[in-house]
Amino acid sequence: MKRLQLGLIGSGRAGLIHGANIARRIDRADLAAVCDANPDNLRAAAAELGCPRTFADFREVCADPAIDAVVIVTPTFLHAEIACAAATAGKHVFLEKPMAVTADECRAIEEACETAGVKLQIGFMRRFDDGFRRAKAVLDSGTLGRVMIIKSTGRGPGGPGPWMWDLKKSNGIVAEVNSHDLDSIHWFTGAGVRHAYAEAHNFKMPEARERFPDFYDNVVATLRLDDDTIAVVDGTCPAHYGYDARVEILCEKGVLFVGSARKHGCEWITVESGLHGEAVASWRTLFRDAYLAEMESFVDAVLTDRPTDVTGADGRWAVEAVVAINESLRTGQPVPVNGAGVIA
């Protein structure tokens, strides 16, 4: 049986998760190489992952005939260049979210992969989480009737790193953190965005204000979907109390809750000291199995020549929503968006 040879491009926190899964937990794939422009990060990742083949330049990975596919886990502003180069070189592409900075970059990636005849999968791991999958199944069953309101919370305890302060490179935390919330809304409803309105503020990152006055660490966005569903997304980074990923979906015949800020969903109360519980420490632990499942899905799609479970169009939908939200923050007005999620 053929084993897929994967090259990892980017060895940060998420890169190491994917690298470890490929190297140790996926039966039909091998970690063929690790690439990172930072030599210290590259040495540390190669040692941790037990991968002796290393590259400092992604172009070397793309040119290597032994590599079948790449896993791209770099800062967002590098995604389009790397993904297009990999596709042109005939490599299948797993691309971490956010897909890119602009909708045009997303389209360029989609076109490059389609022209080359290679697979493209976007890293929205919540689609592979048991709780989110159960919620999707319940909604699709029609038991609760149509969706009316979705409230999705995404708050991360770490960062954001300095490169994220520049919205031209990162699109801010609504992209880096809340892309998952936006994708879940799209996945649950299948609807496009009609318009978006948002408010945001930098409460906790004074070091970013002087150079990047438009940077925000808290955001609340309201989306009107083209099927009239109302969606609300709130994001915070850093959220020092822990990692918080929750969704409430109000339907005609009931309400559905997904996720919890509480570790294992457990809390307790004592007379002496009140309410107690343990917060979820990290997305790396909460979605550990989902990260594995999404990479297994990508490997299977390549080896069996089936469509990927999360497409470029899905990734572009989230980017277009992010762009609309940031435009609303810039103008202070709702931003009209057509049914495909493109700013009108």
> 221-260: per-residue pLDDT in tens?
999 999 999 999 999 999 988 888 999 999 999 999 888 7
Whether the pLDDT of residue 343 is over 90: the answer is no
Span(s) in the chain for CATH 3.40.50.720 = 4-125+289-310
* Sheet strands side by side (includes 92-96): 54-55, 29-35, 4-9, 69-72, 92-96, 120-123
Give the 3-state secondary structure of residue 30: strand
Answer whether 122's CB lies under 8 Å from 312's CB.
Answer: yes
What pLDDT does residue 344 have? 42
Assign domain 127-283+318-336 to its CATH architecture: 2-Layer Sandwich (3.30)
Write down the mean pLDDT value for the chain. Answer: 91
Q: What is the pLDDT of residues 260-284, one digit of tens each?
A: 755 444 444 456 666 555 566 665 5
Span(s) in the chain for CATH 3.30.360.10 = 127-283+318-336
- Count the Cβ atoms, other than its own, within 10 Å of residue 43: 14
* CATH superfamily label, 4-125+289-310: NAD(P)-binding Rossmann-like Domain (3.40.50.720)
